């Protein structure tokens, strides 16, 4: 096994790292406080091909591998979790799902513009009364000639208010459980489609979040994404992609908290010597360092399997579970190192700590990851 990055991967890492240091990190605090998504920076990311790194070249992407994709997500997570979250939804939940399940017309219509950031996408699975139990969603799709009529609500949707296209999951057969769910591509200007903003979140304040209202939205049958009744499989494949990106982003956020802690510990004098000279502070930093390295290796292993084209749900779920819990531990310990300064917005660990909390919730909670892994390890089929 080779743990070294290729020269191309190192080039991408440096390029994105430099971009983040110049265009993202210095402004992340301001965006968080103002709950403002930086559209100008997002457009620049499209221009320098950060958004399109993992998209095939034939659809205006860079065609790079999953390890490179993880590197991009990690560097974005280092600078601002809100931007990393937007990137994750745009590429992992929306673009890759269209690539995997869409027909050629759908791919040509949406993927190149998603890859360049010209348009924004969102992923409508969660509902007010349907979260971890996604198969219990209540949004319906009633057949009406050459169309389906969608009715229902989606909740906690990243990019909801700014998306040009949404992947909406609805029940075409309300009595068939998971096997009655179908996925649809819905454009924002479709009559009956509207959104409502959600504010005052604990974290990811610079990332758009909202509710989608589907009031008898008339969608042509050619907008069906994948076969009828296979929407749950579409959803699971999308979540496999997103969990990988979330895990990589957690590594970046944790690395940022660790770097801040190390720098502070070397400068802060207590008891006539730097904090770094105190063994219990060294213990905190050591634990943080091991956590970050373990998370990164789990992400890279999942990426390696994805590049090999072999089943990787186990490894992807493991990376998401570990890294989402890990970034919360690291952010907690970072505040412990910084003390009162860590509790204020003067240093980024306060924001990292708030942003970290969502990672154990979305794209499958930590408990859902444990169930997935438990079923796999025990040979229990979760869904056929």
* Beta-ladder partners of 150: 141, 217
Q: Among 155, 195, 197, 174, which residue's Cα sits nearest to residue 362?
A: 155
Query: Which residues neighbour 128 within 8 Å (Cβ) at sequence distance 6 or greater?
Result: 153, 155, 211
- Specify whether the CB–CB gap between 191 and 217 falls below 8 A: yes
Phi, then psi, of 220 in degrees rounded to 5: -65, 150
- The pair of structure tokens assigned to 150 is 């969608």
Residue of 58, 308, 363, 377 marked active site: 363
First to last CA, the chain: 33
Q: For the purposes of burial, counting CB atoms within 10 Å of the CB of 310, is it exposed (0-12), middle (13-18) or buried (19 or more)?
A: exposed
Distance, CA of 67 to CA of 244 (rounded, Å): 10
119 φ/ψ angles, rounded to the nearest 5 degrees: -125, 160
Classify residue 71 as left (phi > 0), alpha (psi -120 to 50) or beta.
Answer: alpha
C-alpha torsion angle, residues 106, 244, 129, 328 (rounded to 10): -150
Q: Is 57 exposed, middle or buried (0-12, 13-18, 19+ CB in 10 A)?
A: exposed
Which run of H or of E encompasses 241?
helix 231-267
- CA distances 246 to 57, 84, 250, 329, Å, are 24, 8, 6, 16
- State yes or no: is 118 an active-site residue: no
Q: Which residues are catalytic?
A: 363
């Amino acid at each position: 096994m080779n743990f070294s990055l290729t020269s191309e991967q190192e080039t991408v890492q440096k390029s994105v790292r430099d971009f983040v240091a110049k265009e993202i990190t210095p402004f992340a605090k301001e965006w968080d406080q103002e709950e403002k998504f930086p559209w100008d920076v997002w457009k620049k990311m499209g221009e320098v091909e950060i958004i399109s790194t993992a998209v095939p070249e034939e659809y205006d992407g860079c065609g790079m591998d999953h390890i490179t994709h993880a590197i991009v997500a990690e560097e974005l997570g280092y600078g601002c979790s809100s931007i990393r979250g937007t990137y994750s939804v745009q590429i992992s939940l929306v673009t890759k799902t269209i690539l995997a399940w869409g027909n050629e017309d759908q791919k040509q219509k949406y993927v190149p513009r998603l890859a360049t950031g010209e348009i924004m996408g969102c992923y409508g699975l969660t509902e007010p009364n349907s979260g971890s139990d996604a198969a219990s969603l209540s949004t319906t799709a009633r057949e009406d000639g050459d169309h389906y009529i969608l009715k229902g609500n989606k909740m906690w949707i990243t990019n909801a208010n700014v998306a040009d296209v949404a992947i909406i999951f609805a029940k075409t057969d309300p009595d068939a459980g998971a096997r009655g769910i179908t996925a649809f591509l819905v454009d924002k200007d479709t009559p009956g489609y509207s959104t409502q903003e959600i504010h005052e979140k604990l974290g990811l304040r610079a990332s758009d979040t909202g509710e989608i209202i589907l009031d008898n939205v008339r969608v042509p049958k050619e907008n069906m994404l994948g076969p009828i009744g296979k929407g749950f499989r579409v959803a699971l494949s999308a979540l496999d992609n997103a969990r990988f990106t979330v895990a990589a982003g957690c590594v970046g956020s944790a690395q940022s908290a660790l770097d801040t802690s190390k720098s502070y510990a070397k400068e802060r004098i207590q008891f006539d010597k730097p904090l770094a000279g105190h063994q219990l502070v060294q213990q905190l930093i050591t634990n943080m360092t091991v956590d970050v390295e373990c998370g990164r290796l789990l992400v890279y292993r999942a990426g390696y399997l994805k590049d090999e084209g072999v089943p990787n749900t186990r490894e992807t779920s493991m990376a998401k579970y570990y890294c989402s819990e890990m970034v919360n531990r690291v952010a907690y310990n970072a505040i412990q190192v910084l003390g009162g300064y860590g509790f204020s917005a003067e240093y980024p660990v306060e924001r990292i700590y708030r942003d970290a909390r969502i990672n154990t919730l979305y794209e499958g909670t930590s408990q859902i990851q444990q169930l997935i892994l438990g079923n796999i390890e025990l040979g229990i089929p979760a869904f056929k």
